[in-house]
Amino acid sequence: MFAQQLFNGLVTGSTYALIALGYTMVYGVLQLINFAHGEIYMTGAFAGLLLVTVAKLPFWLALPGAMLIASLVGVTVEFVAYRPLRRSSRLAVLISAIGMSIFLSNLGLWIFGPATRSFQPPFRVATLELAGIRTNTLSLLTLGLALAMMTGLHYVVTRTKLGKAMRAVAQDRDTAALMGISVNRTIAFTFAIGSALAAAAGVMVGMLFNAVTPTMGVMPGLKGFVSAVLGGIGSIPGAMVGGLVLGMAETIGVALLSSQWRDAIAFAILIVVLLSRPTGLLGRRLQEKV
Amino acid sequence: MLGPLSGDYASYGQSVANGVELAINEANASGRYNYVFVLQKEDTRGDPVQALNAMNKLIELDRVTAIIGPVLSGETLTAGPIAQDAGVPFITPSATAPAVSEIGNYEFRNVITDDVQAAQMAEYAVRVLGLRRLAILYSNNDYGVGLRRAFEAAAVAAGGQVVAVESYLDGDTNFNAQITNIAARNPDGLYIAGYYTEAAQIAQQAALQGLRVKLMGADGFDSPLLIELGGAAVEGAIFTSGFFADTQDELGRSFVEKYAAAYGAKPDMFAANAYDSARILIEVINRVGPNRAAVRDGIAATRDFPGVTGVTTFAENGDAVKPLYILRVENGTFVQER
């Protein structure tokens, strides 16, 4: 049974990791906690739901579609709420992010209403048993997609020109600009990728839990943030590790204690890690730029 | 009648008012009674203080013989003692808080309490369905905790075994850890003490984990959304309910038709309980006359009254005792199992 709970946690954790990546990448390039990221996740879930139920697209088209839509929303948010504040204090951008988060979830409430929507997978889901662990094709697909996307992201960041630009902007925005890198385009690209990953998580979780609501982004958004900080904010492998660790710790906490403790456990872990390792599990100590 | 006719709970109060009005109009039109019954409605807005004022007005100013209401538990607990002290009998058609039955001997309650619902489901599960190993997954609020306690006690008393008890919070969406714990104990029945949104998700996630059990619940399941959200996963689930609008029972069917003709909607449990309460009052007043104390005794002496919500008898503590409907999800709709 312990193995079963670990597996449950792994699936949940892989979705946290996908969300955490968006936080950590944006933090890397802007030193901004993008609090609207949870709402991008919600947008992705609704986009996926509508593409499946209204547009009647097959899943393999609906998922990229939802990711694309969320990317556009993410880039728009950046353009509207963050870009004009590029030279303002970090606090101003943070407040703008919180405002965007509230705006998007209220917009969702206004468009879709408060009721929970059912999101039945548009394909047949089979349950199966693997090495004593009972699972199903949907959970395996979620886990597989998450791992594949993380690998893909790792490739993009370390092996492509765009990835190099992202890393350069993260290191020093002004010098990167002097080297001929379009900073705004790189930042927009970062938002696009982060939003697409969050949308993928939203679609998969929407189907796994059969529930999509305008407020669904709040808790996973916070959990993604915790995962990112846990792994070391700004570190991409850290976000992946942080998400998986958090998901498993939570599931085991619920299994051993009770579900009231789920969120308490998440934040307790955060506090403990920050006390013992202020830069997170895989974070590097950065010197404050003056 | 008093209850929330405006505000957040207006739909409950309106249903109660409709049920009472329908019963009174029918009685007056039938010509079978010695009295003409007059309905005096008072709005509580769902506010306990307002309920107090409304109760005082009905008693002192309108000098009513008896009262249907209040509707909500909170307003019943504040306004009920006023009626008790003034010696005015009242029947609440909907307040389910346990403390309501302690108000006094002028208080009557014509709604099945949560405890009774859970106990009847537990007995049905063990004695009729022959389920032996039962698991409980409850929502950690008053409703869920109360159901869980009563279900567990009744299941054990009936000879069943409660092998797992897990909880969740309203608004949770991930129930995998609890389901894994439950599945490890190999139950053959799962009682979900909570509301339809979470119940549908639990059913879905249990199916994804390959947990095959009989799903059971209480009136928190009673919404078309259970089926809409749960789909195939809730097929075969059973739950207790105080009223069933698609009943095959003749008395119930004629009530549903009359109600629909008068108000253009299917009656809900509030309307049905209020309708029965008003009919009980009408019969009693007709028999003993419009005397408050005599009416109280008459209500208390009610035995086997044929109501649309079942054959009703009032117990010593003023609570109605009547059989509950057990409904089942079949082919995406609710059908009557018992």
pLDDT tens by residue, B168-196: 988 888 899 999 999 999 999 999 999 88
* Residues A124, A259, A24: CA angle, nearest 5 degrees: 75
Identify the pLDDT of residue A114: 80
Residues of A with CB under 8 A from a CB of B: 1, 4-5, 8-9, 11-12, 115-116, 118, 120, 125, 127, 129, 134-136, 138-139, 205, 208-211, 216, 251-252, 254-255, 258-260, 262
The reply to whether residue B180 touches residue A118, judged by beta carbons under 8 angstroms, is no
Task: Report the gap between the CA of A89 and the closest CA in chain B (Å).
Answer: 36
- Determine what percent of chain A is predicted with pLDDT higher than 90: 63
The reply to whether residue B201 touches residue A211, judged by beta carbons under 8 angstroms, is yes
Identify the pLDDT of residue A290: 46
Give the pTM.
0.79
Query: How are the residues of chain B apportioned to helix, strand and coil, as percentages rounded to the nearest 5?
Result: 50, 20, 35
Identify the pLDDT of residue A124: 87
Per-residue pLDDT band for A285 (boundaries 50, 70, 90) equals low
Task: Report the gap between the CA of A128 and the closest CA in chain B (Å).
Answer: 8
What DSSP character marks residue B86?
H
Query: Cβ(B47)–Cβ(B23) under 8 Å?
Result: no
Map A156-168 to HEC letters: HHHHCHHHHHHHH
CB atoms within 10 A of CB A122: 16
Per-residue pLDDT band for A20 (boundaries 50, 70, 90) equals very high
pLDDT tens for B98-151 read: 889 899 999 999 998 888 899 999 999 999 999 999 999 999 888 889 899 999
Task: Report the gap between the CA of A258 and the closest CA in chain B (Å).
Answer: 7
Per-residue pLDDT band for A254 (boundaries 50, 70, 90) equals confident
Identify the pLDDT of residue A280: 84
The reply to whether residue A260 touches residue B169, judged by beta carbons under 8 angstroms, is yes
Identify the pLDDT of residue A233: 87
ipTM over 0.90: no
Residue type, B184: A
**Looking at per-residue confidence, does B232 or A289 come out higher?**
B232
Is a pLDDT exceeding 70 seen at residue A34? yes
The reply to whether residue B180 touches residue A116, judged by beta carbons under 8 angstroms, is no
Is a pLDDT exceeding 90 seen at residue A73? yes
The reply to whether residue A115 touches residue B166, judged by beta carbons under 8 angstroms, is no
Please list every residue in chain A whose beta carbon sits closer than 8 Å to the beta carbon of residue B173. 205, 209, 211, 216
The reply to whether residue A251 touches residue B229, judged by beta carbons under 8 angstroms, is no
Query: Cβ(B203)–Cβ(B237) under 8 Å?
Result: yes
B186 touches chain A (CB under 8 A): no
Smallest Cβ–Cβ distance between A259 and the set B169, B183, B225 belongs to: B169
Among A134-138, A257-261, B313-317, the least confident range: A257-261
pLDDT tens for A45-57 read: 999 999 999 999 9
Q: How distant, in Å, are the alpha carbons of B173, B192, B193, B198, B228 from that of B335?
A: 28, 19, 20, 21, 16
Is a pLDDT exceeding 90 seen at residue A279? no
Per-residue pLDDT band for A133 (boundaries 50, 70, 90) equals confident
**How many Å from the N-terminal Cα to the C-terminal Cα in chain A?**
52
Is a pLDDT exceeding 80 seen at residue A258? no
Smallest Cβ–Cβ distance between A138 and the set B184, B208, B210 belongs to: B208
What DSSP character marks residue B92?
E
Q: Write down how long chain A is.
A: 290
Measure the CA–CA gap between A104 and A35, rounded to whole angstroms: 11
Q: What is the mean pLDDT of residues A94-101?
A: 94
- Determine what percent of chain A is predicted with pLDDT higher than 70: 98
The reply to whether residue B204 touches residue A209, judged by beta carbons under 8 angstroms, is yes
Buried b (16+ CB within 10 A) or exposed e, B55-79: beebbeeeebbbbbbbbbbbbbbbb
Identify the pLDDT of residue B68: 96
Task: Report the gap between the CA of A257 and the closest CA in chain B (Å).
Answer: 10
Q: Which residues of chain B have pLDDT under 50?
A: none
